[in-house]
Structure 1
Amino acid sequence: MRATANLIIASTISLISLTFSSKIQAVNSSEQLAFLAAEKAFANGDLTNYRKLKNSLKDYPLYPYLEYKELLKKLDVQNRAEIDSFIVTYNDSPLADRLKQQFINQLAAKKQYDVLEQYYNYGDSASLDCQILSHKLKNGSTIKALSSDIEDLWSVPKSQPKECDPVFKKWIDSGAVNHNIAYHRFYRTAHEGSIGLLKYLERFLDRDKRYIVDLWVKAKKNPGVVNRRSFFPGKDPNLEAPILVFAMKRLAWGDRDKAYKVWLHTKNRIPLTKDHEDEVERTLFLALATENKPKALDWLDDGNLNKFITDDLVNHWKLAVLLRNERWETIKELYTLLPINQQQSNQWQYWHAIAQQNLGENEASSLTLKLLAEKRDYYGYLAATRLKQPLKLNHVAVNIPPEVFKKVENSANVKRAKELFELERYINASREWRKQLQLMSADAETQAAAKIAHSWGWYNQGILTIAKSGYWDDTEIRFPTAFKDSYIKMAKKVNLPPQWLMGVSRQESAYGPLAVSPAGAYGLMQVMPATAKVYSKKFNIPYTGRRDLLKPHINIEMGSRYLELRNEQMGENPIYASAAYNAGKHRIDQWIPFGRHPTEIWIESIPYTETRDYIKKVMTYRAIYALKLGVDDDTFSYILNTETGGNDSCNYANASNSASPTC
């Protein structure tokens, strides 16, 4: 088969246009060349050469991709047998679902709903749902029989597609919409939807309840209106109470002190359920705590937050408030009340040990810290640094039985993913990979897949895949050192440690040179194209377009320059600089006035959960990469021996200081 393919390629190579020239230089096999030539021949309508090439590729993993393209041209009812055969034959490939969806769309366009229903899963598309319902109504089904399905489609906090209008009109005209049904949608819309839809829904509410629409509209436009003494008429507390809860939660994340005063003024104006009060008070406490407002500690001391003892986020902010105020005894007491899963977390074990240490219970504290110091994580590295012990890498390579590895390597999805990856068809490669993961149930198979992806240089896929198996100790897969020379080279240029650049990459993209975020950031260090344009001119970096950001050496230079800028802006404070890389300098400038504290406490008190976790991971990954590079790193010494925050001249402490600066 390979010899035949080579002969055909030799006679048809001229069919491949110059647009494929760079691709051909990158591929290695005759089948890949034949596949590209077949695609080109099909696109050009040269079906004679296409069929010759296709016939030579029947054993090639990407053969179904040629069949798929053919079938896209034949999406009609008379070709159902071929379509069904493809869907069954390649049900392990995402192509089957894609072809099925394309066929469904074509059937809908031709209004062949009886056939469409045989392929379509109700609920996948509101537009198709409504088209099918409309078809059923035209063919004798009654509104009563379909009422439940129509109600589900109607009762959402947004406008549905225009295809739903005829169905909804018949349903509404039948008198199916009562106050309860309408209010269910109204309530959801009040919290999630637009003011325009609220006003539309007013007509379906009982007349004596319609006054609630005006209250909701005013509260959505300006939550502060609930503080007006005459705002709530008190006609129906059950309808009015949710407005107060909604408005208070909005106000809480603005002016915290003002929001608290508004709550005291308004909480007794209308009857509230315990759940309503709890919802507001939880939000107010979190908001007050994030800005280090004194009332947060008062509230905690009042015992008013004990009802949230199983709430992870509330407990985190209780801890942050207590740490800021050095309330070690209270931290110990709180620890004893926590659910067992929270007590066993490294975070709570670490801070309980520090509380014990500050209360003179050194033996118990030391025992916990020694156990934590054996771990490869943020709190383990803090504990080890406190005890002046070396940080642990704890590498244990994953052990995969040869027969399991071979089974996964030879699976159809993995073979297709490999070819697609080599052809730089990364989206399709990812689709095949996700499908393969869905088909596997054993952890050993998932671990084998992770090792395979890593061996291809698909590092982020290896990291994400091995995480699915719950195996954390193979630090070769989890912390790749590819492109090491580029990181070291750039580190010298920007005067930053290479392990820091690598740690940022590991967190930003899971070390994926081909990663593209939903926000449009590219590559290893997740560089935005707009940033790349500026930096290409400023630092004379070759850059012709966003695809260049998928080239590791270019991305590393761009990202390193950006981290250099953040580091300079933030006074060479590695915590501020890393946080600014994630959340922007303006956010850190907002957080600095919330108080000056030991750096490890300041990190624990970062208002954004995402950035707080980001900092902990980047600092940990930086230390891990230092171990892998065999270089010294003082990250955790810095965290333990400096102070951060506050509105004085020490805002941007120099990262080279090993002790707290004198201010």
Structure 2
Amino acid sequence: FPHGYYCQNTRLYLGMPPSGEIRLPEQGFQAPTDRSLDKVQEMIILGLTNDAMMVLQTVLRDNVLDPGQYLALSQQLQSAGDTYRSLRLIKRRFANIIRGGHDGVPSLFWDLAYPKTYMPVIRDAIAENQTDPIDPYVIAALIREESSFDTNARSKTGALGLMQLIPQTADQIARSRAVKSFDPGMLLDPHLNIQFGVSYFRSLLTQFDGNLVSSIAGYNAGPVAVARWRLEMAESPWDKGGNVSDEEKFVESIPYKETRNYVKRVLQTYREYHRVNGTDCRVSFLDKHC
């Protein structure tokens, strides 16, 4: 897949630009007239997204929607503030295009596939510490992979909110930020969740001397495990030749399959955010201070 993790690495080593497609002018998607969708669209406009999705499931059982209809619904959902369902719809219908690209895809499609819904909140949270800047697209990538922008996300392990924070970790952050009467339910507030998530991720970057790969791995598996893996890698007889960086070797050496795949997904998403927005990504060769 042209937009996949390994293709991205190969392009970087060969000095090739990010894979791109013909980007049509940004414009709104107009869904073809279809009475079966009228009720869904009206509910979305009224903010009744739960009911709208239930009706949409019925519509999808009885009809085959064309791409324009899917895109129009996704755009309406995002405009109504339901980025989670908007992204879910895009992933469900256009998974192959997201991974492989396609000529003629409008730029607005990529904005729906890689949302920037909470970018102002992310930038404000990062700005709290001017001495240790963080690329906001790293945080957006974490949110996309952690919760798909679901503010009410709850994991089996008890992680909550956009950045899937564990209550025990959040309690420590609350103490460091002098937040009084902290309650885990507060993590469902997107502003507080992002503030705490950025604070925690910054602490990981500090612990791992700015190493983005280790910090992403630590966000998933915890810093203790990552420090142990780093030590094991340093003591292992890795082949120092070839064109594979130490960071790529580390990613492949992560013993937890879940964490190994998680790191690849976040890095891939991070790079895609930069490609979609036409900016330079600091993860060129997964170097130490990327």
- SS of the equivalent of 1:620 reads helix
In structure 2, what is the equivalent of residue 557 of structure 1? 195
Q: 1:465 to 1:402 in 2, by over 3 A?
A: closer
Aligned residues: 263
Distance 1:436 1:418 in 2: 18
In structure 1, what is the equivalent of residue 289 of structure 2? 655
Q: CA deviation at 1:479?
A: 0.7
Within the candidate set 214, 219, 240, 1:581 is matched to 219
Q: Percent identity?
A: 22
Within the candidate set 441, 452, 472, 2:64 is matched to 441
Distance 2:180 2:35 in 1: 43
Distance 1:485 1:625 in 2: 15
Q: How does 1:267-286 map to 2 (within 5 A)?
A: none
How does the TM-score come out when normalised to structure 1? Answer: 0.36
Q: CA deviation at 1:512?
A: 2.7
Distance 2:53 2:59 in 1: 10
Distance 2:20 2:266 in 1: 15
Say if 1:437 and 1:446, in contact at 8 Å, map to a contact too. no
Q: 1:612 to 1:437 in 2, by over 3 A?
A: farther
Q: Which AA in structure 2 matches 1:462? A: S
The structure carrying a bigger helix percent of its residues is 1
Say if 2:44 and 2:76, in contact at 8 Å, map to a contact too. no
Question: 1:143-166: CA deviations, max 9, x gaps?
Answer: xxxxxxxxxxxxxxxxxxxxxxxx
Within the candidate set 67, 72, 84, 1:460 is matched to 84
Q: CA deviation at 1:556?
A: 0.9
In structure 1, what is the equivalent of residue 13 of structure 2? 386
- SS of the equivalent of 1:635 reads coil
Q: How does 1:76-225 map to 2 (within 5 A)?
A: none
Say if 2:5 and 2:268, in contact at 8 Å, map to a contact too. yes
Q: 1:448 to 1:519 in 2, by over 3 A?
A: farther
In structure 2, what is the equivalent of residue 620 of structure 1? 268
Question: 1:444-486: CA deviations, max 9, x gaps?
Answer: 3434332322221211211111122124352111111122122
Q: 1:432 to 1:540 in 2, by over 3 A?
A: farther
Say what the alpha-carbon RMSD is for the aligned residues. 3.2
Q: CA deviation at 1:434?
A: 4.9
Residue segments in structure 2 that go unaligned for 5+ positions in a row: 102-108, 240-245
Q: CA deviation at 1:420?
A: 5.9
Say if 1:417 and 1:432, in contact at 8 Å, map to a contact too. no
Q: CA deviation at 1:438?
A: 4.4
Given the alignment of the two structures, is residue 478 of structure 1 paired with residue 106 of structure 2, yes or no?
A: no
Distance 1:486 1:459 in 2: 15
In structure 1, what is the equivalent of residue 32 of structure 2? 403
- Larger Cα-atom Rg: 1
Distance 1:614 1:398 in 2: 33
Q: CA deviation at 1:409?
A: 4.5
Distance 2:209 2:280 in 1: 22
Question: 1:472-508: CA deviations, max 9, x gaps?
Answer: 3521111111221221222232532212111111111
Q: Which AA in structure 2 matches 1:655? A: H
Distance 2:53 2:167 in 1: 23
Q: CA deviation at 1:545?
A: 3.2
Distance 1:629 1:408 in 2: 35
Question: 1:271-308: CA deviations, max 9, x gaps?
Answer: xxxxxxxxxxxxxxxxxxxxxxxxxxxxxxxxxxxxxx
Q: Which AA in structure 2 matches 1:624? A: E
Within the candidate set 528, 531, 541, 2:169 is matched to 531
Q: Which moved more, 1:628-637 or 1:481-490?
A: 628-637
Q: CA deviation at 1:430?
A: 5.8
Distance 1:393 1:552 in 2: 32
Q: CA deviation at 1:542?
A: 6.9
